[in-house]
Amino acid sequence: MLATHFLDVLYLIAALAFVIGLKMLSHPDSARRGNILAAFGMGLAVLGTLFLHPSAESFSEDDRRLKLLLMYAALAVGGGIGWRVAYKVKMTAMPQMVSLFNGLGGGCAALLAVAELKLQYMEHGHPAASGLILVLFTLFFGSVSLTGSLLAFAKLEELVKDSSIVLPRHTLVNLGFLAVILSLIGYTVWGAGDNGLTWGLILFGITLLYGFSFVAPIGGADMPVVISVLNSCTGLTAAAAGIIYDNLIMLVGGLLVGASGSILTILMCKAMNRSLMNVLVGSFGGPAAGSASIAGDQTIKEISLTDTAVLLNYSSSVVIVPGYGLAVAQAQKICKDLDAMLEANGVDVKYAIHPVAGRMPGHMNVLLAEADVPYTKLFDLEEANEHLAKADVAIIIGANDVVNPAALDDPSSPIYGMPVLEVWHAKNVIVMKRSMKAGYAGIENPLFYHAKTKMLFGDAKDTLQKLVSEVKAM
């Protein structure tokens, strides 16, 4: 009994560590400490469960040793792989890592649900409907999170192409899957009788397929939203598993993940001026996306490195718009060097951050924090647009869709209505790109042909290094 009370205290400490750690993640200055604090809380909860959970008392000494040995081995192998992957991952691959880890969390919850389903039928013959619904709920969302996240990982890693996995009228296919799944849940709970375990396993297989099918038509610029949705699903499954096993820490941790994922999803949708349903069935940025041809003058104007250096150095205010191209080139530290050099010459430098820039929520914030860019220099959409209207130069480094004016003035564009960074209001616009290739959403950008725009082609890191040298030589 004493051990149980002590375990409850450990769970309470762990839950507080989760909440405080999550709060600390809201600011770059405290994010690292918050992550460590939350990890400490999880470690405390895991070790407390291993040594103090009442279920361990029902094992014989030999069984207890074997189970502890297996759990220690799992902790060592899983923890070692996780630490190694997290330590080695490049910033460009961070979205893939988030998707993969999130999917494994959902898969773990789904397997727990399968084990609990088997246990309930072995012990009760036909379990109570309320408990069975909760288990099947966990099974459903955990499976979708697992296979959906794996497909999101494959898309982000460019292991699969959208066009190769999308069926005609794929939205109807997904609706059909959902109807079958809901019917199977109802039949398993109220009509399957003693065969419920068999039907539950059939449901498990179909939900795994649905996870793939659910994510298949979603691509391009919607990927940050998909990651948030799947993250929320994983949190909900963990919370449901906490209810099944009467485990406080699983419940609290799952609710925190589910709630934060849901809030982030809402913020992402708001940033794109779209409903969640529109994101999930609209295939924005996927293979069906397209845009009307760009009318008017399509002549681009290039600018040399020397002219760019002169323009930046003799400006009073410069706004940098980072995008995924900056992450790919690993050029954030060179960008910070350019920032510092311009500041030393009296130029006011700010950063305009779009909520869905990059391939996961907060991608650009994390990227710039890694380069020690002060958080006070980063401005979100509305404030950034105010600064852009007063800027002498807006320099876009690897961004594309988030600076596309078609979002405001082309009703035929798939991104019409999406709030964007209005860089064209600056006195001068410089776009740094490797080529004229379309962005992640796969649509053309009229900004490249705007009267104020000049193109500076090349790899972002190499170009920024040369630009720093040019500014230094002045």
Q: Are 413 and 443 in contact (CB under 8 A)?
A: yes
Task: Tell me if residue 26 falls in helix, strand or coil.
Answer: coil
Residue 219 has pLDDT above 80, yes or no: no
| Whole-number Å distance between alpha carbons of 153 and 151 | 5
Confidence of residue 36 (pLDDT cuts 50, 70, 90): very high
Q: Which residue has the higher pLDDT, 463 or 290?
A: 463
Six token digits for residue 303: 């600018």
Better-scored residue on pLDDT, 121 or 223: 121
The pTM is what? 0.78
Residue 221, pLDDT score? 62
What is the C-alpha to C-alpha distance for residues 466 and 16, in angstroms, rounded to an integer?
Answer: 49
- Give pLDDT tens digits for 74-85: 889 988 998 888
Residues with Cβ within 8 Å of residue 379, at least 6 apart in sequence = 350, 351, 352, 353, 387
**Paired tokens of 71:** 């759990």
- Residues classed as catalytic: 401
The answer to whether the beta carbons of residues 336 and 460 sit under 8 Å apart is no
Contacts (Cβ under 8 Å, ≥6 apart) of 279: 218, 222, 225, 226, 269, 272
- Mean pLDDT (whole number) for 170-174: 86
Local confidence band at 363 (pLDDT 50, 70, 90 cut-offs)? confident
DSSP-assigned letters across all residues of 273-315: T--HHHHHHH-TTSTT---PPPPS-----B--HHHHHHHHHT-
Could you tell me where the beta strands, DSSP code E, fall in 331-420? Answer: 348-352, 378-379, 393-397
Q: What pLDDT is stored for residue 21 in this prediction? A: 93
pLDDT of residue 443: 78
pLDDT at 287: 46
Residue 390 parent element (H or E): helix 381-390
The whole-angstrom separation of Cα 303 and Cα 454 is: 6
For the stretch 269-317, pLDDT in tens is: 877 776 777 666 655 444 444 444 555 567 889 999 999 999 999 999 9
Asked whether 446 and 425 are in contact (CB, 8 A), the reply is no
Structural domain boundaries in the chain: 96-289, 305-472
Mean pLDDT over residues 89-98, rounded?
Answer: 79
Of the candidates 453, 468, 454, the residue with the CA atom closest to the CA atom of residue 335: 468
Residue among 95, 111, 114, 137 at smallest CA distance from 233: 137
Element (H, E) at 428: strand 428-433
User: Is 60 exceeded by the pLDDT of residue 345?
Assistant: yes
Sort 191 into a burial class: Cβ within 10 Å, 0-12 / 13-18 / 19+: exposed
% of the chain beyond a pLDDT of 70:
90
Sort residue 289 into left (φ over 0), alpha (ψ -120 to 50) or beta: beta
pLDDT above 80 for 164: no
Q: pLDDT tens for residues 315-341?
A: 999 999 998 888 888 889 999 999 999
What average pLDDT does the chain have?
85
Query: Which carries the bigger pLDDT value, residue 139 or residue 119?
Result: 139
Cβ(35)–Cβ(49) below 8 Å: no
**What long-range pairs does 62-70 form, CB within 8 A, spacing at least 24?**
none
Residues 6+ apart with CB under 8 A from 359: 95, 156, 223, 224, 324, 440
Rg, C-alpha atoms of the chain: 25
pLDDT in tens, 415-457: 788 889 999 999 999 999 887 777 666 678 899 999 999 999 9
Instruction: State residue 412's pLDDT score.
Output: 80
Question: What is 305-472's CATH number?
Answer: 3.40.50.1220
Any idea which residue has 């955990």 for tokens?
A: 142
Instruction: Please tell me the distance from the alpha carbon of residue 463 to that of residue 210, in angstroms, as a whole number.
Output: 44
pLDDT at 288: 43
Is the pLDDT at 268 greater than 80? The verdict is: no
Report the pLDDT value the prediction gives residue 342, as an integer from 0 to 100: 94
